[in-house]
Amino acid sequence: MEISTKTKKAFMNGKIYTVNPKQPVVNCVIISGNRIIFSGDITEADNLMDNETEAIDLNGKLMLPGFIDNHVHFTYGGFFLEGIKLRDAGSREDFVNRIKDYAVKHPGKWIKSGNWDNEAWEDKRLPYKEMVDPYTEDTPVFVDRFDQHMALANSYALKLAGITKDTIDPAGGLIVRDKNGEPTGILKDNAIILMNKVIPPPSDADYDNSVLTALEHAKQFGVTSVQDITLQRDLETYKRLEQEGKLTCRIYTRYPIYDYKTLIDQGVKVGAGSDVLRHGSIKAFADGSLGSSTAWFYEPLLNETSCGLPQDIVIDGRINEWTKDIDRNGLQLSIHAIGDRANAFILDLYEKVAKENPAWDRRFRIEHVQHLREEDFKRFKELNVIASVQPYHCIDDGVWAEKRVGKERLNQTYAFKSLIDAGAKVCFGTDWTVAPLNPLLGIYAAVTRSTLDGKNPEGWIPEQKISVEKAIECYTINSAFASFEEDIKGSIEPGKLADFAVLSDDILTMDPAKIKDVKVEMTVFDGKIIYKR
């Protein structure tokens, strides 16, 4: 991190896109400490420049507000960076060999995470335990699919967890079985919890290292704020690192709904905490994922008899009373919904809660909003529900999504422009580690919709493309709004926090197809330059 004795900094000689509609482009920004004190034309800044001002030459580069990622699994991401890498395994053989090699180098140690993607293999069938058993007889394996809604366990891990032919599927979960009823090793959604109970927990030092690794990763991409799915150990780590002055990214925490009463008992409401670490949001799941065939639809997926897998709290009705209680106590609701039925269910639920509870600036959120019925687009505006979407998913899932939902449902799939046109407040993020943390890849995805297989150079469902300006807005001020922080960040205006990203190229004027190759030259967080390429 940069150390300077200067009390002020002036960023000059660049194109500064402020995301402030009253003054969209300026050529000079001056900060004092961690706050912006001037944003405008350099000819008007003479009275603010003195011997205590450090001049920083942007060399003609584009400066934006620091990116705000609306949905990450931050601590998990750090552990992922430190662990086995399976996401880019291009075949079943590559997948097996990586696990084999890792087991040799780390004998007896749990092999976890990985983020494999069977859709990237020529043989797209799900993996099964016998593929890795011969190489991991004494090493437990439990590796996630990249969407984190299913994972593969080897026989040793299944034995440790006591999962057998006779184990009953938990509510909201599925143990995939072969024709004889034996577990294949694939566990979906809430069945994953059966395995998590026997995996040894990491130490505090492990957690610290994981978060520090994630912070270093975020710096490279100009990410200065994240909205995190935060477990108790994650929160303890963030608090510890904040006290030590080591958090170089603002974290807005979202606590699991199962533990929401902990926040109520502590008197926590939306906005609690500091400008670096804030609390007051609750995360829940309504369904699973499209890739795992557990997203909840009105009609079955292609070649499926099931309409998906609603979560246990949806099935047994707990979500109804919990959401009412959470909202009544001044906490924000943020609920994952992928399938059209899951999204409609949550919109109905939010409408009911808003009618029964006292009015307040509640800012309901639905996370992902991947598949909608035509009649539900307008309801986001009508009910003031924020659409928290992750555009990289559309160029990733777009390679194979039609095989799941069919052509008829594609027009309501990852429909960012339709949401925006309907007046919804749309914010962007990545769902890291499900997708790369790099916001420029998300902007590229939203603007081009060019799928990763290269088969849609003009865009997959091209009528859903949006402008670069709108994508930047979704990644900055709209994400700030989604965490009740639009008054302190998300745009470059006097009085706001000094968080910036300086890019290698001008994404506002360049060929959108090249945005994916743009790099972050500099990241400024809290008034300090924390990264230079």
Residues in the chain: 533
For residue range 273-324, list pLDDT tens digits in order: 999 999 999 999 999 999 889 999 999 999 888 899 999 999 999 999 999 9
Sequence-ordered alpha helix ranges (H) in 20-123: 74-82, 92-105
Sequence-ordered alpha helix ranges (H) in 357-484: 377-382, 392-397, 401-405, 416-421, 439-448, 468-475, 477-482
Q: Compute the distance between CA of residue 111 and CA of residue 109 in angstroms, rounded to an integer.
A: 6
Q: Compute the distance between CA of residue 349 and CA of residue 17 in angstroms, rounded to an integer.
A: 38
Neighbours of 452 (CB within 10 A): 14
Residue 1: the pLDDT is: 45
DSSP 170: P
Q: Compute the distance between CA of residue 330 and CA of residue 318 in angstroms, rounded to an integer.
A: 19
Q: Compute the distance between CA of residue 511 and CA of residue 505 in angstroms, rounded to an integer.
A: 11
CB 69 within 8 A of CB 476: no
Tokens of 92: 């079943």
> Which residues make Cβ contacts (< 8 Å) with residue 413, sequence separation at least 6?
370, 371, 394, 401, 405, 461
81-85 long-range CB contacts below 8 Å, 24 or more apart? Answer: 81/213, 81/214, 81/217, 82/209, 82/210, 82/213, 83/111, 83/112, 83/113, 83/114, 84/111, 84/112, 84/113, 84/114, 84/143, 85/114, 85/115
Helix (H, G, I), strand (E, B) or coil at 9: strand
Residue 229: the pLDDT is: 97
Intervals of the chain under pLDDT 50:
1-3
Tokens of 259: 């533990």
Residue 5: the pLDDT is: 56
What is the gyration radius of the CA atoms in the chain, in angstroms? 23
In degrees rounded to 5, what are phi and psi of residue 435? -130, 160
pTM listed for this prediction:
0.89
Burial label for 174, CB within 10 Å (0-12, 13-18, 19+), is buried
Going along the chain from its start, the domains and CATH numbers come out as 74-196 (3.10.310.70), 205-489 (3.20.20.140)
Residue 83: the pLDDT is: 87
Kindly state the helix (H) or strand (E) to which residue 37 belongs, with its residue range: strand 35-40
Residue type, 473: E
